[in-house]
A and B are shown apart, each in its own frame.
Chain A
């Protein structure tokens, strides 16, 4: 056997992976070749050195804390995954909670627009205070007399502001923030918002306008009745 050939087998021999039939002739070669025997010995020493390399022993406290620490991680992980599973829902809910006035505003505004567009004449639209029915003014005056400040549309306000006004329960509203605040005071607005929220939680991709449009005739009637009886007041 030549040295080159023996060298290719040395590692397998040290590793005890050399097939039996080659093992004998390689060992025979090592008995006669000092160079290859030295190489073989070097590999043996190297692997003995590697094997002897110790891992620094952590303190006893490390091992005492290992399992409790792992259990803590497991509990934390379980908690996190629970949070995560409800997270999207919770996040959505919190968003809804935060934006409920907005949702309600959108809902009511959309319904109002629906009323104005689809049901012309169903509710009067007053571009100017001069067209406001007297009964309405009386109602506003009564409320004003009872200590609440009536927010019935003011002709000056209408003239002062530009753009398309909202029409809500027969009232002209051109300030969205005031609208949202007023809507918040509606006793039924939370119920509507809850229903919209539920619809969005179940179908987050849906458009609230679609949801409103999908109201049944009865539900729409309830909404219209509510809008009609709405008194926009600021206490």
Chain B
């Protein structure tokens, strides 16, 4: 993966514009997902993703390759998200151009409702997390990054990145205690 990214970057820096297209197509979903999980809003996620790739395009020649491309890319995305959150983002959950959720009116709908409630409660709990904790949680759980990499992305020490993550998990556990008891 790392070598493949560097290969695309080399091609781009040699003037092959299609290499950047490939890089975007390859990474667009994970960038969008990370941005969505951070901003909790589809429009913000789209804007942040576009801004992040624009920044990548402008600064790719300055990427020193001391870290993996994904770490560098995630750092850009997370910083964009943090800026976005600091500026005051849109309301969470407002989704534009989203594929419609399939509605299942079958007998199992009670279980689905419970699951939906659980997911909504989780979403609300995640929204209350401070941005750095939210980033640590997302990068750890959804992107399976090591705390060392998360620290690099957030620009903090590894110990601090771990603390952010553990605080996030503990906070969620506390806020979702009623679900645990009810389950």
Contact = CB atoms under 8 A, between A and B. Distances in A.
A117 interface: no
Q: Which secondary structure dominates chain B's binding surface?
A: helix
Nearest to A63: B28
Interface in B24-80: 24-25, 28-29, 32-33, 36-37, 42, 46, 49-50, 53-54, 57-58
Contacts of B145: none
A135 interface: no
Interface in B1-41: 21, 24-25, 28-29, 32-33, 36-37
B137 interface: yes
Interface of B: 21, 24-25, 28-29, 32-33, 36-37, 42, 46, 49-50, 53-54, 57-58, 95, 97-99, 101, 118-119, 122-123, 126, 137, 140-142, 147, 162, 165-166, 169-170, 172-173, 176, 180, 183
A49 B119 CA distance: 8
B169 A46 contact: yes
Contact of B54 (A51, A61, A62, A73): A73
A45 interface: yes
B141 A67 contact: no
Contacts of B142: 51
Interface residues of A, number: 28
A11 interface: yes
15 contacts: A11-B166, A15-B166, A46-B173, A47-B169, A53-B119, A53-B126, A55-B37, A56-B95, A58-B42, A63-B29, A66-B24, A66-B28, A70-B50, A73-B54, A74-B57
A177 to B, nearest CB: 49
Given A49-B118, A51-B141, A59-B99, A70 B53 contact: yes
Contacts of B169: 11, 43, 46-47
B54 A70 contact: yes
B141 A17 contact: no
Contacts, number: 84
Interface in A53-80: 53, 55-63, 66-67, 69-70, 73-74, 77
Interface of A: 11, 15, 17, 42-43, 45-47, 49-51, 53, 55-63, 66-67, 69-70, 73-74, 77
Given A11-B170, A77-B58, A62 B122 contact: no
A67 B21 contact: yes
B77 to A, nearest CB: 14
Contacts of B166: 11, 15
A51 B141 CA distance: 6
B122 to A, nearest CB: 6
**Top 4 nearest A-B pairs by Cβ distance?**
A55-B36, A55-B33, A62-B97, A56-B98
